[in-house]
A and B are shown apart, each in its own frame.
Chain A
């Protein structure tokens, strides 16, 4: 059960994973369900890109970086992850809360 998976993961006070390396696709799926996001291929494209960026420089990508480095537009990002696209994408990807303001 996906509910159980989240019990095995450590989160901070805002619900972001403490250890990004402990993330699995199953955990990502479970976080997405908790955030009421139905994952599609487009979501996974963003999630995988965010994880790749994080591995490179230790920071989740800014929203602008996601929209300039992938073919996902700003409008689509707000549709895919309503209510805070950069934060919610990072949350599902098991990354820390993004601090970039663009």
Chain B
């Protein structure tokens, strides 16, 4: 039994806030959600969050890609059980789109928002969102291609920002 106090809502005993660095490197629909859910959970727990989107993860914060992320139906060992599609059938045109639609429905049923809304949500919750400069150069993307509120950042700058943070690579 403990009376309510500010201290009971702290996630660490140190004077400085706990900080989480999330590196998102994959842009498929199924791999877009874990870093977003973790970022949101961290903010809801009062933890500072810095999110770095690199390589295919950039699709998650790219305006014309973020609402069209797909789940792979070929070479994806995780297509189970309600989504199970044998690899040979997964290659049929339209299968990936169908599986993606199904997954979007399942996600919506749990009251998790679509990816573009989720990115806005974590930014509103106070998470900082960065696009990897090197990946952007490689994919010929500029700041204008990224969702509003995202910042272009080099990997070394991200290291500076996340000093002392706990790191998660997705």
Contact = CB atoms under 8 A, between A and B. Distances in A.
Interface of A: 6, 10-16, 31, 34-36, 62-65, 68, 73-75, 78, 82-88, 91, 101-102
Interface of B: 1-6, 8-10, 37, 40-41, 43-46, 110-113, 121, 124-126
Contacts of B6: 34-36, 83
B4 A78 contact: no
Given A74-B121, A74-B124, A83-B9, A63 B44 contact: yes
Contacts of B8: 14-15
A79 B113 CA distance: 22
Leading 8 A-B pairs by shortest Cβ distance: A15-B4, A74-B124, A83-B46, A15-B8, A84-B46, A34-B4, A75-B124, A31-B4
Nearest to B37: A101
24 contacts: A11-B2, A12-B2, A13-B1, A14-B2, A15-B2, A15-B4, A15-B5, A34-B6, A36-B6, A64-B112, A74-B121, A78-B43, A82-B46, A83-B46, A84-B9, A84-B44, A84-B45, A84-B46, A87-B44, A88-B9, A91-B4, A101-B41, A102-B37, A102-B110
Contacts of B46: 82-84
A87 B5 CA distance: 12
Contacts of B9: 15, 35, 83-84, 87-88, 91
Contacts of A68: 111
Nearest to A101: B41
B45 A102 contact: no
Majority DSSP secondary structure for residues of B touching A? loop
With most chain A CB atoms within 10 A of its CB, the pick from B4, B43, B112 is: B4
A65 B113 CA distance: 11
A7 B112 CA distance: 39
Given A63-B44, A102-B111, 16 more contacts: A6-B3, A11-B3, A15-B9, A62-B111, A64-B111, A64-B113, A73-B124, A74-B124, A83-B46, A84-B45, A85-B44, A88-B9, A91-B4, A101-B37, A101-B40, A101-B44
Contacts of A35: 4-6, 9
B2 A86 contact: no
Contacts of A63: 44
A78 B126 contact: yes
A66 to B, nearest CB: 11
B1 A6 contact: no
A86 B44 contact: yes
B130 to A, nearest CB: 20
